[in-house]
Amino acid sequence: MNEATVLNKQKSRVERTISNSQYTAKDFQLEVLDRLAEMQEFADSLETSWNGKIEALKEQRLVKFDSRTLLAVGALALSIGGYVIQDARNIARQDSEIQATQARVLRLEQIAATNTEARIRTEVQLGELRDGQNEIKTLIQAHDNASKRAVKK
């Protein structure tokens, strides 16, 4: 498995994650399965490579592998697999946190827009009430002036 293939798979995985609106447990499982499939391919390619190298070494009779060496290689492969799974969990958690934060920001923006609209409506209504009060005051003053003139005559 070459570096370009790994980069393409990672890029497609990121694009799939970004294109989804909700990151679910099923998506996480599919991502883990994809990564495990990649690890299987990697392990198969390593096995093929190792088999070729072992055959070459057996032919040259330079090194003999005992069971301890094979167990160490297996432990190393399991360790790498564990890191891949842990990385997938961390990425999934980070993605879900980012999506939750984006949802909260969107909701806050909606609330701010609603509050702004309500504040503008309230200001317009207060202006109309002030105008109405001024008209009433003018009418009352005109009435008072007219009644004072009528009393003086």
Between CA 131 and CA 139 the distance in angstroms is 12
Between CA 11 and CA 151 the distance in angstroms is 93
Provide the 3-class DSSP secondary structure of residue 125: helix
pLDDT (0 to 100) of residue 64: 58
User: pLDDT tens digits for 78-96?
Assistant: 899 888 888 888 998 999 9
Q: What average pLDDT score do residues 28-56 get?
A: 89
User: pLDDT tens digits for 100-141?
Assistant: 999 999 999 999 889 998 889 999 999 999 999 999 999 999
Q: Are 55 and 14 in contact (CB under 8 A)?
A: no
Structure tokens at 28: 């996480």
Work out the number of other CB atoms within 10 angstroms of the CB of residue 35.
Answer: 19
CA pseudo-torsion sign 88, 91, 97, 103 = negative
User: pLDDT tens digits for 5-37?
Assistant: 655 666 666 555 555 568 788 888 888 889 999
Q: What average pLDDT score do residues 41-47 get?
A: 90
Between CA 38 and CA 40 the distance in angstroms is 5
What's the whole-model pTM score? 0.36
Residue 143 or residue 62, greater confidence: 143
pLDDT (0 to 100) of residue 12: 64
Q: What average pLDDT score do residues 38-45 get?
A: 91
Between CA 75 and CA 65 the distance in angstroms is 15
